Structure 1
Amino acid sequence: MAPHAGAAADGYGDQHSKSDDIAATLAQPQLLYIDGKYQSSTDGATFSVRNPMTGKTIYDCASATVDDYATAIEVAHKAYQSTWSKTGPSARRMIFLKAADILESYMNDGEAAELLSQEVSATKYWIKVNILATAGTFRETAGLVTHIKGEIVPADRPGTTILVERQAVGVVFAISPWNAPVNLTARAIACPLVCGNTVVLKPSEFSPKCQHLVVRALAAAGLPPGCLNFLPTSAERAPEVTEFAVKHPKVLRVNFTGSDRVGKIIAGWAATCLKQCVLELGGKAPVIVLEDANIDDAVEAVIFGALSNSGQICMSTERVLVHTSISQEFKAKLLGKVAKLKTGNHLEDAGVSISGLFTPQSAVRVVELIRNAVDGGAKLLVGDLEITGPNRTIVGTHILEGVKPDMNIAHREVFGPVMILSEFGTDEEAIASANDSEFSLCASVFSRDVMRALDVAKQVRAGSCHVNGPTVYVEATLPNGGTGGSSGYGRFGGIAGVEEFTERKIVTLAKPGMKYAF
């Protein structure tokens, strides 16, 4: 069998059969990728990447040092100046379109699916979303390359023309998470690269090889060396190398998708050198179900929004606000649907909808939040407070009601298969409850009266609010992000992304012979 696109270029060697290819890929160490070359870290250090479902080591990964990051930043800066900023828009577009095709081909070779399954406990659905949505992101972002436009501004000074153009900034430091490792890695790097920047990428220590799929596809598509550098590092080294990269004078933009805790630290480091960031952090998305809503539709959307990827999505539905007049019917239908979902070990049963969380520690944290709420008087409608699985990462669906505002689960992001039900009597009460959060990423409103729903949606504090649809919904062309607080600031996607990763530059043209009086 012939190797898939890009296999020879990334050092994985000859491939003799599909099963051999996959086994070899999983077993081999993951190296750093700097200036188009694979290499070990400067001190040879590695860390183990483990299967969250079994707890067993999948492979060892090179652990980048501060010196490695210093080298990568210099390489990226040189590539920006000498190559990538001078590459025309059509050439950039073709690289991303080709990379999209290569990524789609990964769906057929089995390797990408196995990587996602092994590294992040991805179910069949989540594997498909990661790969195909990433190809879509590349194609949509490729289309932006000729929309990086400036303007001509009238000048009061005679004989003067004023141009305002958008220019790439230089080196971007990107940090992408494990939960949607392929798609969110693509989002972190695609728009910066299309705009003409170069990127130093720090992937999550939980999913380096999944995230490396994006790097591999772009390299195979012809992205010049040095434009994208890939530097995984251990959890122990992450704070040191991240602070170094954020504060490095040749890094002019930072983007991070992850927890609000880490986002606040990165924002603090960036503030010391007045550096612009794009931060998409946590969420605690509310869904408002008005009394005239289609209850069946709302139930479907709430289940999808709350339980996709076991609730490990920043847009996951965590709070469900239902009008008192329909609360019993909604609750009965919700519980009936949830009872039919299959939870378990996706490695043993491909039909599982809800599999394990990303670490045993995460499972313990989720269950403790639920237990503390129950101990404080909340009622558990669904769930047994149990953690199962060979590595104790499987937590079933839990639904609570009677949660009080002072409970931790009421205001902390759970990031697990958990929903909190509550009731309201008026639209104003629902809006106030939805807005009673530090998070502001996304929300949904359900009503048969679209204009009424639109009015409510406008008053909900969220970067996106969906009418009659789930909170988990995003398109590559949309300006995705929160409106401040614990959901972060700045926007990924579309022209908003172009604005984040370029600078307006004023260029004035004056006729020769101008005279100036003072």
Structure 2
Amino acid sequence: MTISTSLNLYINGAHVPSRTSTTFPVTNPLTGEALYPCASATVADYETAIQHAHAAYKTWNATSPSARRKILLRAADILETYLNDDAPEILSSEVSAVPSWVKLNVLAAAAILRESAGLVTHIKGEIVPADRPGTTIMVLREAVGVVFAISPWNAPVNLTARAIATPLICGNTVLLKPSEYSPKSQHLVVRALAEAGLPAGCINFLPSSPADTPSVTEFAVKHPLVRRVNFTGGDRVGRIIAAWAAECLKPCLLELGGKAPAVVLEDADLEDAVDAVLFGALSNSGQICMSTERVIIHTSIADAFTTLLASRAKQIKVGNHLTDPSVSLSGLYSPAAPPRILSLIDDAVAQGATLVTGDRQITGPNGTILGVHIVDHVKPDMALFQNETFGPVLCVTRVESEEEAIEIANGTEYTLCASVFTKDVLRGMEVAKGIRAGSCHVNGPTVYIEPTLPNGGTGGRSGYGRFGGMAGVEEFTERKIVTLVKPGMRYPL
């Protein structure tokens, strides 16, 4: 498949056009050029896919654990071969991925498939003692049925794998709605699973145009045969999905935005902290929900830290990855992103913050390239401190004590992840426990996750629920009580 070839829906094991033959253009964000037409699924297509997924669930759930595991393991191997095929071109074109981000996406996705495959024989129930004579109580853990998964464009391959691998290994079937920005990148996972022998109907791929997305998403979330919903993306859409699910009293898993703080205490190793903060802030140009966006630092070391941070940041190569593959940071996902980010920076500077580095210039053929910007003396009441930038921006806030650092770290509605830097690991543990976040890393970057870890926020604008490991299994299965009663029991009435 070349990047210019059109992309269809994938329903019940076949690539098909939408019911109305409607398509939408997928564009290259860096150049603004149309890449290919993608089929736009309608409500009727979703109904068809849901019915096929429901039918497939009955047989897939009965498939042996070893058979399920083999398919996911085979898919992981197949997915890795795409690195030597069309994956680099697809990700480069759809999401401005530099070579290192392409490789990380595909390899991380393969790791997720492998780790999820390993969970299949750990989906266990339990025997519970009964007070009633002649009774055996079993608590089983069972698949729920059809799962509706929505995954984003920023890490399109691995976040797609995460959205569907655990549901599948538990015995569920899946409807996948990819982002309109990156259908082919996300289709790579579907393609690998199909090549690996996943039965028809177990995974259904349903991209939709921006115009069709609200109606099909509401339809799928509210459909009575859809038992679970998982969504990774922004909190604005997450709130809408949560509200639709609440109308049906339907569980959903939401991993939403982030505004990760890095707390740098006065005894921190500055070299290590700067390296980790820059990695956490600038991987994929800061377009990761776990990106470090806030540095909360003790006043006594703030000048030295900020100077070193700016010096290192200026060494990072920013540019057009299509003409210079050696760049570390390329274009953002939309021409609307750089002006929005710069407006937050300008607002902070107008209120007394200091622009330490960054030229405020927007470049690139479609106006999506923005250099690294570091803003010092940012106050907690500034919009730059409170709102997710999703770009190559760091704001620095100075504090006088550990207690103040924890209070300010907890001073936004985001709860996804955080970091603490100190040479005293036990002190770091105490600070980590005081920060409200789903994960907190002592002397490591905020951008860090293993496939087995229970990743997710603790409420607010970062959402709720957990992907990964047995926590993910719990999200996509139900506990069922089954009791066995000895014949001849008599009951008082």
TM range (shorter): over 0.9
Q: Secondary structure at the match of 1:483?
A: coil
- Measured in 1, the distance between the counterparts of 2:383 and 2:40 equals 35
- Measured in 2, the distance between the counterparts of 1:194 and 1:465 equals 28
Per-residue CA distance 1:122-165 (angstroms, 9 max, x = gap): 01110111011111111111000000000000011110000001
Gaps of 5+ in 1: 1-11, 13-24
1:298 aligns to what? 273
Question: Are 1:511 and 2:486 counterparts?
Answer: yes
Range moving further from structure 2, 406-415 or 247-256: 406-415
Query: Which residue, 88, 94, 98 being the options, matches 2:64?
Result: 88
1:215 aligns to what? 190
- Measured in 2, the distance between the counterparts of 1:287 and 1:169 equals 38
Question: Are 1:195 and 2:170 counterparts?
Answer: yes
User: What amino acid maps onto 1:482 in structure 2?
Assistant: G
- Measured in 2, the distance between the counterparts of 1:350 and 1:87 equals 45
1:389 aligns to what? 364
Are the counterparts in 1 of residues 377 and 398 from structure 2 also a CA contact under 8 Å?
no
- Measured in 1, the distance between the counterparts of 2:337 and 2:243 equals 26
- Measured in 2, the distance between the counterparts of 1:431 and 1:249 equals 44
- Measured in 1, the distance between the counterparts of 2:430 and 2:78 equals 43
Structure 1 residue 377, shift from structure 2 partner: 2.5
Question: Are 1:279 and 2:254 counterparts?
Answer: yes
- Measured in 1, the distance between the counterparts of 2:244 and 2:399 equals 41
- Measured in 1, the distance between the counterparts of 2:410 and 2:234 equals 20
1:326 aligns to what? 301
1:5 aligns to what? none
Are the counterparts in 1 of residues 379 and 397 from structure 2 also a CA contact under 8 Å?
no
Are the counterparts in 1 of residues 27 and 35 from structure 2 also a CA contact under 8 Å?
yes
Equivalent residue runs for 1:4-403 within 5 Å = 12=1, 25-81=2-58, 83-109=59-85, 111-403=86-378
Equivalent residue runs for 1:469-508 within 5 Å = 469-508=444-483
- Measured in 2, the distance between the counterparts of 1:370 and 1:291 equals 27
Range moving further from structure 2, 502-511 or 363-372: 363-372
Q: Secondary structure at the match of 2:464?
A: coil
1:434 aligns to what? 409
Q: Secondary structure at the match of 1:444?
A: strand
Q: Secondary structure at the match of 2:342?
A: helix
- Measured in 1, the distance between the counterparts of 2:347 and 2:408 equals 21
Q: Secondary structure at the match of 1:406?
A: coil
1:21 aligns to what? none
Structure 1 residue 378, shift from structure 2 partner: 1.8
Per-residue CA distance 1:325-362 (angstroms, 9 max, x = gap): 11111111111101111111010111111110001012
Equivalent residue runs for 1:413-428 within 5 Å = 413-428=388-403
- Measured in 1, the distance between the counterparts of 2:344 and 2:23 equals 34
Are the counterparts in 1 of residues 53 and 204 from structure 2 also a CA contact under 8 Å?
yes
Are the counterparts in 2 of residues 198 and 228 from structure 1 also a CA contact under 8 Å?
yes
2:428 aligns to what? 453
Per-residue CA distance 1:169-223 (angstroms, 9 max, x = gap): 0000000000000000000000000000000000000000000000000000010
1:3 aligns to what? none
Are the counterparts in 2 of residues 286 and 444 from structure 1 also a CA contact under 8 Å?
yes
User: What amino acid maps onto 1:78 in structure 2?
Assistant: A
Are the counterparts in 1 of residues 177 and 205 from structure 2 also a CA contact under 8 Å?
yes
Structure 1 residue 424, shift from structure 2 partner: 1.2
Are the counterparts in 2 of residues 371 and 385 from structure 1 also a CA contact under 8 Å?
no
Q: TM-score, normalised by structure 1?
A: 0.94
Q: In percent, how many aligned pairs have the same letter?
A: 67
Per-residue CA distance 1:347-383 (angstroms, 9 max, x = gap): 0111111110001012221122212222233211111
Structure 1 residue 422, shift from structure 2 partner: 1.3
User: What amino acid maps onto 2:324 in structure 1?
Assistant: D
Q: Secondary structure at the match of 2:391?
A: coil
Are the counterparts in 1 of residues 380 and 411 from structure 2 also a CA contact under 8 Å?
no
1:412 aligns to what? 387
Structure 1 residue 232, shift from structure 2 partner: 0.3
User: What amino acid maps onto 1:309 in structure 2?
Assistant: N
Structure 1 residue 400, shift from structure 2 partner: 0.5
Per-residue CA distance 1:423-462 (angstroms, 9 max, x = gap): 1111101000100010000000011100000010011000
- Measured in 1, the distance between the counterparts of 2:109 and 2:182 equals 16
User: What amino acid maps onto 2:60 in structure 1?
Assistant: W
Are the counterparts in 2 of residues 289 and 321 from structure 1 also a CA contact under 8 Å?
yes
- Measured in 1, the distance between the counterparts of 2:378 and 2:118 equals 46
Range moving further from structure 2, 317-326 or 248-257: 317-326
- Measured in 1, the distance between the counterparts of 2:37 and 2:205 equals 16
Structure 1 residue 406, shift from structure 2 partner: 2.8
User: What amino acid maps onto 1:108 in structure 2?
Assistant: N
- Measured in 1, the distance between the counterparts of 2:274 and 2:377 equals 19
Q: Secondary structure at the match of 1:86?
A: coil
Per-residue CA distance 1:1-54 (angstroms, 9 max, x = gap): xxxxxxxxxxx5xxxxxxxxxxxx211110000000010000010000000000
- Measured in 2, the distance between the counterparts of 1:396 and 1:504 equals 50
- Measured in 2, the distance between the counterparts of 1:507 and 1:336 equals 64
**CA RMSD in angstroms, aligned pairs only:** 0.8
Runs of 4+ in 1 over 6 A off after TM superposition: none
Per-residue CA distance 1:69-91 (angstroms, 9 max, x = gap): 0110111000001x101101000
Structure 1 residue 117, shift from structure 2 partner: 0.3
Are the counterparts in 2 of residues 175 and 256 from structure 1 also a CA contact under 8 Å?
yes
Gaps of 5+ in 2: none
- Measured in 1, the distance between the counterparts of 2:341 and 2:34 equals 24
Per-residue CA distance 1:375-410 (angstroms, 9 max, x = gap): 233211111222110000001111111223332211
